[in-house]
Amino acid sequence: MKLLITGSFGQVGRCLVERLNNMAGVEFLALDREELDITDESAVFNVVTSFSPEVIINAAAYTAVDRAEDEVELSYAINRDGPANLAKAADKVGAAMLHISTDYVFAGNKDGEYLESDETRPQGVYGASKLAGEIAVAEACPRHMILRTAWVFSEHGGNFVKSMLRLAENRDTLGIVADQFGGPTYAGDIATALLHIAVAIIKENNTGFGVYHYSGMPHVSWYDFANTIFTEAKAQDVLVKTITVNPIATSDYPTPAKRPANSKLNNEKIFTQFGVSPSDWQLALKNLKDYTS
């Protein structure tokens, strides 16, 4: 199995590399933006044609949701043009393209879980640029799989779990938004799911290409998520004090970009096609010491 990974220093990218290092019979090339600028079409084509992977997994993205409102061109360059370059190159060498997208492609006002077939209506630049990337990938490479996920966290990089633990060092009380709901998703589980799918495509000739949702269960609010983090941190002796978490409304914490009130993604399609179960985010919080190093 021959894989090309982009965005190798991001949360999902680093988890992919960790897992690939422990997989037998796999040749892979993992590149970060310093090694491959995916917005550079000629550079992308040179790397892809010379390495000739069977699957490209694009874990590179512009994810600064609020800053994207000002950095519009950069957002689209990384989230639309870069994936388009990779997808075109994938199609040229006959590779499959696995691309990570987001719950922000939806308006976030649906009752219940979002299906892959639901109307997309992003509310900000980040979501719009990611949706544009989905469209570009689908148009450029028929053998594509787009994986929409939400609320990603891990031991690597910046994320909600690490922010909560950092804030708890100097604070005894926090106000956390309680009217936005979704499924926290462990980046390691996303990596495992992507590699499982890559194997299914290459070795089992699974042709279930298209759009899939993959996130954590059970669905919770940010307030619930924070409470669980602090309960686990106390139980694991990562925190020695009790943190009081107060529920607040989205309107109490204004941000430049609008957040979806509902980020609940339905995971049934990916389970039916590939046997991939939702991310167990509660299990992923059982090693919080790794999030503080």
- For residue 290, the tally of other CB atoms under 10 A from its CB is 11
Contact 124, 257 (CB under 8 A): yes
| Alpha-carbon span 29 to 47, nearest angstrom | 10
Q: Is residue 62 annotated as a catalytic residue, yes or no?
A: no
Strand stretches in the chain, DSSP E:
2-6, 27-31, 55-58, 96-102, 144-149, 152-153, 173-177, 181-182, 185-186, 210-213, 216-217, 220-221, 244-248, 262-263, 279-280
| Identity of the residue numbered 133 | G
Cis peptide bond upstream of 218, omega within 30: yes
N-terminal to C-terminal alpha carbon distance within the chain: 33
| Alpha-carbon span 129 to 20, nearest angstrom | 29
Residue (of 45, 44, 47, 13) closest to 30 by Cα position: 13
Phi (first) and psi of residue 70, to 5 degrees: -100, -30
- For residue 64, the tally of other CB atoms under 10 A from its CB is 15
- Which stretch of DSSP H or E encloses residue 133? helix 125-140
- The residue annotated as part of the active site, out of 62, 126, 214, 223, is 126
Number of H helices, E strands in the chain: 10, 15
Alpha helices by DSSP H, listed for 169-253, are 187-203, 222-235
What are the catalytic residues?
126
